[in-house]
Amino acid sequence: MSVLGEGFQSPSGRSRNRPHGNLAALRIAVILMFGVLAAQLFNMQIIQGGDYARRSRENHLTRKEILPPRGLILDRNGTPLVKNVGIYTATITPAFLPEDANARYALYLRLEQLLGVPALEIQSRVKEKEADGKGDIEFPIKEGLTKEQALALEELTADMTGVALTIQPGREYVGGDAFSHILGYIGKQTPEEYRELRTEGYSLNEPVGKAGVELTYQDVLRGEKGATAAEQDAQGHLLKALKSRDAVPGSNLRLAIDMELQTYIAEMLEASLPNPLTMNQKNATTAAAVVMSAKTGEVLALVSVPAYDNNIFAQVTQRGAEYEALATDNKTRPLTNKALSQALPGSTYKLITAAAALQEGNITPATSRDIPSRILEIKGENGVIYNLIDWRAHGSGIDLTQAIAWSSNIYMFMAVCGIPNGSLQPHKALGKDVDSSASIFAYYQRGFGMGQATGIDIPGEDIGRVPDPAWKARNYAGPDYTDNDRDWYYADTCFTAIGQQDVLATPIQIARMTAAVATGKLFTPHVAKDILDADGKVIKTIKPEWKSVPVDEANLAAVRRGMHESVLAGAGLKAQVSGMDIAGKTGTAEFGTQRPEGSYDQHAWFTGYYPYNDPEYVVTVYFDYGVGGDKAAPAAANIFSWMNQNLGK
């Protein structure tokens, strides 16, 4: 007897009460129906089985990421400038809030009590989010809660659906306002940043550096995320930990910055800015200073005043008005790092001018000129008469040392631009004509790092400007200008030679140029010194990088003699510190429009180094208003003196 058979033969004979139904259709139905089920089962288990197996794993495995502690930032002596803190934020997910409007408002009122955010404000923000279709996205209602607020909120969140307390890793900057421009700050990733960073394994809740060395050394400071994986049941109970990987803390970054020096300079410069409220005439409102090692290019101090507290970025919701005031202060623009911002360099530029003229053989250290008058009358192109002006009549027999020490404009005009034929004392220019002179001079300016980024490890530096015929043609392109505007003239080269008119340079560029004059090496400046592991062991040292300047050592030495003389008995006399052998150069750059009596607003500069014979440190000081020898040189003297007393002791 077969298992399925036997019934296939219909019973013989016919009778009214004989079974006569057709059962083949029923057999077919059984096979077909189980066939359909088997086909679907095959589809789910065999064809899509791998996919469902993955979903099954995701279902019951929870993965939690552990954010690594961010590396600390230390000054060159190991003093921490930052602290890692938790930032407590109260958030709302509108979709999880109670449906009932009254219950919702009651909840807003409790939050108002606890956080001080008005219930009406919370309500309108929730409505706004819901109207935008973002009801299921968590958004912050108050950031930077105090520990007490956070604890109280934590207790309340148990019976307030839709309200949550989140803890984000954050930074507290403990070094003071003087470090804000260097350190920068960290913050939440923007959607644009996240799109890029997630390919590098970032999760959205990881804060990233937004400015300063926090941004430059993001990869060093970040560390490695850890993770835990656990099995969880349908009710969300964790059953067992499967594996975990510890987070690796970020490496510590030791800066070349000397905390005490930085703080001293910031306070000293701040104090030398007159109080804007009591000031009855124009005076300096901003200042910057750079202290750089002439041997390595390390930056020991990089100061910009007025400064600000960079903890403000982590507390924007509480300190919104304060931030607004900083961001909209167009007079002093405190958020901008003045040490990396470009300005007319004035006579500090004569160091490059002198070096170029020496190297091109236009002058020797002994070349002497008679400058009997403040005004040099030059017959230029097409018979135009230029009245080139010096700040004083330097007298007769002025050599290069005197010219640098007393910052003679006319000596530099003659050295670089020459005196065209037809004038009283014809001299050779750098090139055979006006344009080529300008181009050759531009080559030397670039050789000293002008018109290009210094490569300092702080984002956002200005690159300055080296004006030359090509630049002028570009700058005055378009129908608003004529060919006359675009042409490069004799006087353009002259003004560039004394750091006026179109030249722009940043304090860090001037400091770097000064180091190059002192040593022949054009360094890439670094505020970071080395990278340390958690135990303080050096993992990586940031090595000095430089390229040589296109000027012979003998010619640089001639320029240095002028700088030495300047501080000993010249325009830079006020930078002198007894017991120190300092060389330097002042700069007073005229800018803006001429006043009725003929004077201009002026930037004050001083750049110098010490010791004269074995250059070790470069100091550059800039004020947005003032005379170099009177305003910047004394400030530099304070810095030199402080360094002499405190550095390396």
Partner 1 sequence: MATTFGPGRQGGVFRGWDRFDYVLVLCAVGLVVFGLLLIYSGTYRTYEGPPASFSNPVTKQAIFAIFGIAMMLAVSKLDYHYLTHYSVVLWGISILSLVAILLMGHSAYGSTRWFNLGPIQIQPSEFAKLATILLLANFFSEHGGDAKDLRTLLMSLAIVAPCVGLVFIQPDLGTSIVFMAIWLGVVLVAGVSRRHLFILAAVGLAVLPFVWTFAVADYQIERISVLVDPEEDPLDAGYNVIQAQIAVGSGQLTGKGLTNGEQTQLGYLRVATKDFIFSLQAEELGFVGSMVLFGLFIVLLMRGIRAAQIAGDISGQLVAVGIVILILMQAFINIAVNLSLFPVTGIPLPLVSQGGSSLVSIFVSLGVLQSIIMRHRAYRQT
Q: Which of 579, 630, 577 is nearest to 602 (CA)?
A: 630
Q: Identify the residue among 4, 131, 385, 424 touching partner 1 (CB under 8 A).
A: 4
- Give me the 503-542 binding string for partner 1, x by CB under 8 A, dash otherwise: ----------------------------------------
Q: Report the residue count for the chain.
A: 649
Q: What are the Cα distances from residue 223, in Å, to 1, 185, 218, 254, 541?
A: 76, 17, 9, 16, 18
- Min separation Cβ 243 and partner 1, Å: 17
> Of the ranges 10-18, 69-77, 324-332, 512-520, which one interacts with partner 1 (CB under 8 A)?
10-18
> Cα(first)–Cα(last) distance of the chain, in Å?
110
Buried b (16+ CB within 10 A) or exposed e, 100-139: eeeebeebbebbeebbebebeebbebbeebeeeeeeeebe
- Min separation Cβ 29 and partner 1, Å: 7
**Does 19 contact partner 1 by CB under 8 A?**
yes
Tell me whether residue 17 or residue 328 sits nearer to partner 1 (CB atom): 17
- Min separation Cβ 65 and partner 1, Å: 22
Count the Cβ atoms, other than its own, within 10 Å of residue 600.
Answer: 13
- Give me the 210-229 binding string for partner 1, x by CB under 8 A, dash otherwise: --------------------
Tell me whether residue 6 or residue 483 sits nearer to partner 1 (CB atom): 6
- Min separation Cβ 101 and partner 1, Å: 23
**Does 238 contact partner 1 by CB under 8 A?**
no
The contacts of residue 368 (CB under 8 Å, 6+ apart) are 397, 398, 399
**Does 50 contact partner 1 by CB under 8 A?**
yes
State the Cα–Cα distance between residues 467 and 31, nearest whole angstrom: 91
**Does 16 contact partner 1 by CB under 8 A?**
yes
Q: Identify the residue among 65, 112, 138, 231 touching partner 1 (CB under 8 A).
A: 231
> Of the ranges 14-22, 399-407, 453-461, 596-604, which one interacts with partner 1 (CB under 8 A)?
14-22
Pairing of strands 252-255, 73-74: parallel
Instruction: State which of positions 64-93 bind partner 1 (CB under 8 A).
Output: none
Q: Which amino acid is at 355?
A: A
The contacts of residue 513 (CB under 8 Å, 6+ apart) are 348, 351, 352, 448, 449, 450, 505, 522, 607
**Does 99 contact partner 1 by CB under 8 A?**
no
Tell me whether residue 13 or residue 592 sits nearer to partner 1 (CB atom): 13
- Min separation Cβ 97 and partner 1, Å: 17
Q: Identify the residue among 235, 421, 425, 578 touching partner 1 (CB under 8 A).
A: 235
Instruction: State which of positions 322-381 bind partner 1 (CB under 8 A).
Output: none
**Does 121 contact partner 1 by CB under 8 A?**
no
**Does 158 contact partner 1 by CB under 8 A?**
no
Tell me whether residue 50 or residue 598 sits nearer to partner 1 (CB atom): 50
Tell me whether residue 95 or residue 325 sits nearer to partner 1 (CB atom): 95
Please tell me the count of residues contacting partner 1 according to CB under 8 A. 52
State the Cα–Cα distance between residues 412 and 95, nearest whole angstrom: 73
Q: Identify the residue among 52, 372, 393, 433 touching partner 1 (CB under 8 A).
A: 52
Decide if 489 contacts 381 (C-beta within 8 A).
yes
**Does 393 contact partner 1 by CB under 8 A?**
no
**Does 63 contact partner 1 by CB under 8 A?**
no
Q: Identify the residue among 234, 321, 366, 385 touching partner 1 (CB under 8 A).
A: 234
Tell me whether residue 13 or residue 479 sits nearer to partner 1 (CB atom): 13
**Does 242 contact partner 1 by CB under 8 A?**
no
Tell me whether residue 9 or residue 281 sits nearer to partner 1 (CB atom): 9
* Four-residue CA torsion sign, 166, 172, 177, 181: negative
Three-class DSSP labels, 26-88 = HHHHHHHHHHHHHHHHHHHHHHCHHHHHHHHHHHHEEEEEECCCCCCEECCCCCECEEEEEEE
ω into residue 420 within 30 of 0, thus cis? no
Q: Which of 262, 332, 344 is nearest to 303 (CA)?
A: 262
- Min separation Cβ 245 and partner 1, Å: 22
**Does 22 contact partner 1 by CB under 8 A?**
yes
Q: Is 540 helix (H, G, I), strand (E, B) or coil?
A: strand
Tell me whether residue 27 or residue 392 sits nearer to partner 1 (CB atom): 27
The contacts of residue 636 (CB under 8 Å, 6+ apart) are 289, 575, 584, 606, 608, 619, 620, 621
**Does 397 contact partner 1 by CB under 8 A?**
no
Residue 302 tokens, joined: 């990089």
State the Cα–Cα distance between residues 493 and 439, nearest whole angstrom: 9
Count the Cβ atoms, other than its own, within 10 Å of residue 567.
Answer: 30
- Min separation Cβ 25 and partner 1, Å: 7
Tell me whether residue 5 or residue 596 sits nearer to partner 1 (CB atom): 5
- Min separation Cβ 57 and partner 1, Å: 8
> Of the ranges 49-57, 608-616, 622-630, 640-648, which one interacts with partner 1 (CB under 8 A)?
49-57
Q: Identify the residue among 122, 233, 335, 392 touching partner 1 (CB under 8 A).
A: 233
State the Cα–Cα distance between residues 212 and 401, nearest whole angstrom: 40
State the Cα–Cα distance between residues 366 and 358, nearest whole angstrom: 10
> Of the ranges 57-65, 99-107, 531-539, 562-570, which one interacts with partner 1 (CB under 8 A)?
57-65
Decide if 200 contacts 209 (C-beta within 8 A).
no
Q: Which of 446, 521, 534, 474 is nearest to 84 (CA)?
A: 534
Compute the radius of gyration of the chain from its Cα atoms.
37
- Min separation Cβ 12 and partner 1, Å: 8
- Min separation Cβ 161 and partner 1, Å: 14
Tell me whether residue 51 or residue 614 sits nearer to partner 1 (CB atom): 51
State the Cα–Cα distance between residues 566 and 354, nearest whole angstrom: 14
Longest dimension (CA), the chain: 149
- Min separation Cβ 132 and partner 1, Å: 22
**Does 137 contact partner 1 by CB under 8 A?**
no
DSSP 282-335: -----EEEEEEETTT-BEEEEEEES---GGGGGGTTTSHHHHHHHHH-TTT-TT
**Does 101 contact partner 1 by CB under 8 A?**
no
Q: What are the Cα distances from residue 174, in Å, to 83, 183, 310, 569?
A: 7, 11, 10, 43
Tell me whether residue 55 or residue 83 sits nearer to partner 1 (CB atom): 55
> Of the ranges 28-36, 156-164, 358-366, 385-393, which one interacts with partner 1 (CB under 8 A)?
28-36
**Does 95 contact partner 1 by CB under 8 A?**
no
**Does 243 contact partner 1 by CB under 8 A?**
no
- Chain residues binding partner 1 by CB under 8 A are 3-8, 10-11, 13, 15-23, 25-27, 29-31, 33-34, 36-38, 40-42, 44-46, 48-53, 55-57, 59-60, 231-235, 239
